[in-house]
Structure 1
Amino acid sequence: MSSSQSILLVEDNPDDVDLTQRAFQRAGFTQPLDVVEDGVEALDYLFARGAHAHRAGEPLPGLVLLDLKLPRLDGHSVLRQIRANPRTRFLPVVILTSSDEEKDLVESYSHGCNSYVRKPVSYTEFVEAARQLGVYWLVLNRSPLPGGSG
């Protein structure tokens, strides 16, 4: 499946980054998967500041896959700042986490996540989840952002 929109993966676990990259490749997605390892870097990427200042003027990713347990700034704080900024307010954000805690689920939705997905344990299930996420958010979903899908 092709789309010019990139995907931003915010994940600090190298094994989960590798698994996500392989799952998206196996599912047939060809768009770039940009990876940042903590919440501060995620915001720098999205708002084109700091080490990511070179991104000024570049389009936002088509999808953000956001882990909750991150160094420097957790996923909930990242999500709140994404939703507070007019430029990123409507950016599709999927929480992709190993947390099965009800409080994380409720807090994620209360701060405006578009979806909450618990990381599947098996590789086969993870590939299928990645395929379904990609199809829905990058192909079927319509976004109010410029260059949005649909």
Structure 2
Amino acid sequence: MVTDDIDILLVEDNHGDVHLVERSFTARELPGTLHAVQTGDEALDWLYRRNDFADAPRPDLVLLDLNLPATSGHTVLEAIKTDPVLKQIPVTILTSSRAEDDLTEAYESYANACLIKPVDPDEFADRIQAFVDFWVSTATLPPASETE
């Protein structure tokens, strides 16, 4: 079942990569609403609906960069996957790292998938489309938690 009413939280500090993801959504008319934050602290505030994000929608999916300033993507992933309410949200790691240690650590911290950022913008858009197609058209997302 394809739905346009999903919320995707992109946590990415690279403005170029944010632009590429946003452009992929617009140019390819991908379903869902994309929300972007630039730091791990902003991501945690969004997820816990604190500070400037008190009214933020609960994301159905998180697309998370590992290499963030200050609070790292690894810390954000750990916070999500150890929280009884947030842990059901699928998290896909968006990274330029091909280091086995980074990928192993992400999966050991219960990332649902890792997506390596291609250098080519068209290939990047293809990966974003495949990510959205899978999570929106193929997989069944968990229902929102009753304890929210």
Give the TM-score taking structure 1 as reference length.
0.90
Q: Which amino acid aligns with 1:79?
A: L
Q: How many pairs were matched up?
A: 144
The 1-side partners of 2:65 and 2:81 are apart by 16
CA RMSD of aligned residues (A): 1.5
Please name the residue that 1:16 is paired with. Answer: 17
Give the 3-state SS of the residue equivalent to 2:46 in structure 1.
helix
Q: Which runs of 5 or more structure 2 residues have no equivalent in the other structure? A: none
In the other structure, the counterpart of 1:74 is 72
Distance 2:126 2:3 in 1: 17
Following TM superposition, where does structure 1 have runs of at least 4 consecutive aligned residues deviating by more than 3 angstroms? none
| TM-fit CA distance, 1:2 | 4.7
The match for 2:139 is 141
2:108 is aligned with 1:107: no
In structure 1, what is the equivalent of residue 51 of structure 2? 50
What does residue range 20-99 of structure 1 map to in structure 2 within 5 Å?
A: 20-55=21-56, 58=57, 60-99=58-97
**Identity over the aligned pairs, expressed in percent?**
40
Contact 2:24 2:30 in 1 (8 A): no
Q: Is the 8 A contact 2:8 2:63 kept in 1?
A: yes
What SS does the corresponding residue of 2:115 show, helix, strand or coil? strand
Q: Displacement, 1:138?
A: 1.8
Instruction: Tell me if the contact between 2:60 and 2:89 (Cα under 8 Å) persists in the aligned partners.
Output: yes
Shift of 1:6: 1.2
CA contact (8 A) 1:27 1:128 kept: no
CA distance in structure 2 between the aligned counterparts of 1:62 and 1:29, rounded to whole angstroms: 15
SS of the residue corresponding to residue 54 of structure 1 reads: coil
Deviation per residue, 1:11-30 (Å, 9 max, x gap): 00111100111112222214
Secondary structure in 1 aligned to 2:55?
helix
Determine the C-alpha separation between the residues in 2 that align with 1:89 and 1:96: 18
- Normalized against structure 2, the TM-score is what? 0.91
Q: Is the 8 A contact 1:83 1:89 kept in 2?
A: yes
Unaligned ranges ≥5, structure 1: none
Shift of 1:120: 1.0
